[in-house]
Chain A
Amino acid sequence: MKFLDNLTFGQYVPSESPIHHLDPRCKIACVLVLLTSIFMVRHTTSFIGWGLLLLVVTSFSRLPLRLVVKTAKPVLILALFTASIHIFFTKGTPVFSLGIITVTREGLRMAAFTALRLLFLVLFASFLTLTTKPMELADGLERLFSPLTRFGFPAHELAMMMTIALRFIPTLLDETDRIMKAQLARGAYFDKGSLWKRLKAFLPVLIPLFIIVFQRAEDLSTAMEARCYRGGKGRTRMHPLTWRTSDTIALLGLSLVTALLLIADRTLLP
């Protein structure tokens, strides 16, 4: 029994693929292009095209499709929820009715549309984190926002905070798992009784976890100061980001494809 075993949304999965090797700034830009385009889609049927694009991107990333879909599982519940709201509360031509509930054709269409849109948004966005190391992601964001430092925007500090937070998420999950196991070995229950009882059962996990986290944070800041960390000014990098031709090609290619998909959505479909 491993309590936090599933691959979580936003986890990096290493692989040697063209997408993994792209510059993080390129991938961030691509995801922005994809997300805005998906918001501009008008017809449910166009999502077939987006589905094909998703398959192409997946094959380029050399990740199993199953894995990509699995990371979106939590959002599926949200998608079903919004879909059901649309089914039950949209007025129009009735398809069938059950007591006070009437399901309309417009409702079904809206439900399919919003659910698919949400799903594609999440699936495409998840590629960013699936194929980019958290550190690279933070680096990319820092570089993208660095022009704003002139206006007092703390780009470096935010990126450093994000890096540290990301760096500690797996560690925290491991620690939580370890402490939960240790308390289970002492006979603790985590899955029985009322909500209040379960919350209380979690105290023996939360208290040691807090202590470890504060200890870690203190160790980390000491270690950083001991190595003369003093903010972003004048700091050099071990792996400077380099924008290659392949990045330009990827960004342009993707923009072209999404533009075509959008044009098809506006002109070919009624």
Chain B
Amino acid sequence: MSIVVDRLSHTYHPNTPLETRALRDITFELQRGAWMSVVGHTGSGKSTLVQHLNGLLIPQSGSVVVDGMEVREKSPHLRAVRRKVGLVFQYPEQQLFAESVLEEVAFAPRNWGVPEAEIPGLVQSSLALVGLDGQYLERSPFHLSGGEKRKVAIASVLASAPEYLVLDEPTAGLDSFSRKELVDLLTALKEKGYGILLVTHDLDIALQASDAILILNRGEQVVRDTPRRVIEHLRGDHIPGLSLPDIVTLSAELHDRTGTVPVTWDWRVLAQAIGEMKR
């Protein structure tokens, strides 16, 4: 059970003067219960890529297959794919429209034709997943704080009961506490068996949380590998618009000088190694 993307390419406004090549030959597989991060500079094609995963954009060449269902124009499976792959857009709080949180979160399941009797329970459990309790149900989504709005928006996608969750820069504009909360939430969802695809600028989060990282540069796939191998690649080959987290640079420098400190993105590992060095 996985999303399989094979040699996917996309060009906006083909054959016009505004032609822009946004993606070129992207290939990867995302399993359920796994976390992959997509990292790249602005305009590298991340948003274009994620819109292909649930059929909002149809592959111009190459293919996207979700649990055996190919995403094609007029495919009878298109809605099934959309339901399986929950997509949280950049600044999802901007899509809120209902008069109460309850109505907002109920929007998706109603669209999918979930019986009305099951909806309150589904709404409650989706809100619980993002850490919001019943007191929010009757409040207006417009009067919540930025972080709470974002949680409601994510809950409204979870309410479709998707099997994969694709998030386009969900941490943009959040403070570091909410950011950590969100990463923990996604990790918990991953353990529950969701396939997570996270688009982010933040290499730090990608390194700490993902099983695999895909790096995009001007629409092309530079590497797709485990965090450890991606670090090795990035140390050898600088990619414009991407800088390694300070802790990686520091530990790499120490590694080169001492030979005992490992290259790492985890401050605990680094602290441990430095502590042992002193002894």
Minimum CB distance partner of B58 in chain A: A1
Q: Which one of A14, A185, A208, A211 lies within 8 Å of B82 (CB-CB)? A: A185
Give A115 to B96 CA distance when docked, in angstroms.
46
Give A252 to B161 CA distance when docked, in angstroms.
68
Minimum CB distance partner of B85 in chain A: A185
Say if the beta carbon of A182 comes within 8 Å of chain B.
yes
Say if the beta carbon of A181 comes within 8 Å of chain B.
yes
Give A268 to B156 CA distance when docked, in angstroms.
72
Decide if B107 touches A204 in the complex (CB within 8 Å): yes
Say if the beta carbon of A171 comes within 8 Å of chain B.
no
Decide if A13 touches B17 in the complex (CB within 8 Å): yes
| Stretch from A87-95, A100-108, A186-194, A234-242 contacting the other chain | A186-194
Residues of chain A from 216 to 266 with CB closer than 8 A to chain B in the complex: none
Minimum CB distance partner of A63 in chain B: B17
Decide if A184 touches B51 in the complex (CB within 8 Å): no
Decide if A13 touches B94 in the complex (CB within 8 Å): no
Decide if B94 touches A179 in the complex (CB within 8 Å): yes
Question: Using a Cβ–Cβ cut-off of 8 Å, how many residues does chain A contribute to the interface with B?
Answer: 26
Decide if B94 touches A208 in the complex (CB within 8 Å): yes
Q: Which one of B73, B95, B142 lies within 8 Å of A183 (CB-CB)? A: B95
What B residues does A188 contact at CB under 8 A? 107, 111
In the assembled complex, how far is the CB of residue A227 from the closest CB belonging to chain B, in whole angstroms?
24
Decide if B16 touches A7 in the complex (CB within 8 Å): yes
Say if the beta carbon of B13 comes within 8 Å of chain A.
yes
Say if the beta carbon of A56 comes within 8 Å of chain B.
no
In the assembled complex, how far is the CB of residue B173 from the closest CB belonging to chain A, in whole angstroms?
14
Say if the beta carbon of B205 comes within 8 Å of chain A.
no
Interface string of B46-64 (1 = CB under 8 A from A): 0000010011111000000
Say if the beta carbon of B40 comes within 8 Å of chain A.
no
Decide if A186 touches B56 in the complex (CB within 8 Å): no
Decide if B51 touches A5 in the complex (CB within 8 Å): no
Decide if A184 touches B56 in the complex (CB within 8 Å): yes
Say if the beta carbon of B28 comes within 8 Å of chain A.
no
Decide if A182 touches B108 in the complex (CB within 8 Å): no
Say if the beta carbon of A15 comes within 8 Å of chain B.
yes
What B residues does A185 contact at CB under 8 A? 54, 56, 82, 86-87, 89, 157
Decide if B16 touches A207 in the complex (CB within 8 Å): no
Residues of chain A from 62 to 117 with CB closer than 8 A to chain B in the complex: 63, 67
Say if the beta carbon of B267 comes within 8 Å of chain A.
no
Minimum CB distance partner of B51 in chain A: A181
Indicate whether A187 sits within 8 Å of B83 (C-beta atoms), given known contacts A1-B57, A181-B56, A181-B89: yes
Say if the beta carbon of A199 comes within 8 Å of chain B.
no
Give A13 to B73 CA distance when docked, in angstroms.
29
What A residues does B18 contact at CB under 8 A? 7, 13
Q: Which one of B12, B79, B95 lies within 8 Å of A187 (CB-CB)? A: B79
By a beta-carbon cutoff of 8 Å, the part of chain B in contact with chain A is 12-13, 16-18, 51, 54-58, 73, 79, 82-83, 86-87, 89, 92, 94-98, 107-108, 111-112, 142, 156-157, 160
By a beta-carbon cutoff of 8 Å, the part of chain A in contact with chain B is 1-2, 5, 7, 13-15, 63, 67, 178-179, 181-189, 203-204, 207-208, 211-212
List 3 A-B pairs, minimum CB-CB distance, nearest first: A187-B111, A207-B97, A186-B108
A-B contact pairs, 18 of them (CB 8 A): A1-B55, A1-B56, A1-B58, A2-B12, A2-B57, A13-B17, A179-B94, A184-B56, A185-B54, A185-B56, A185-B82, A185-B89, A186-B156, A187-B108, A187-B112, A189-B111, A207-B97, A212-B94
Taking A183-B95, A185-B89 as given, write out 7 further A-B residue pairs in contact, using a Cβ cutoff of 8 Å, ordered by the A residue number. A13-B18, A67-B16, A178-B89, A185-B82, A185-B87, A186-B157, A187-B111
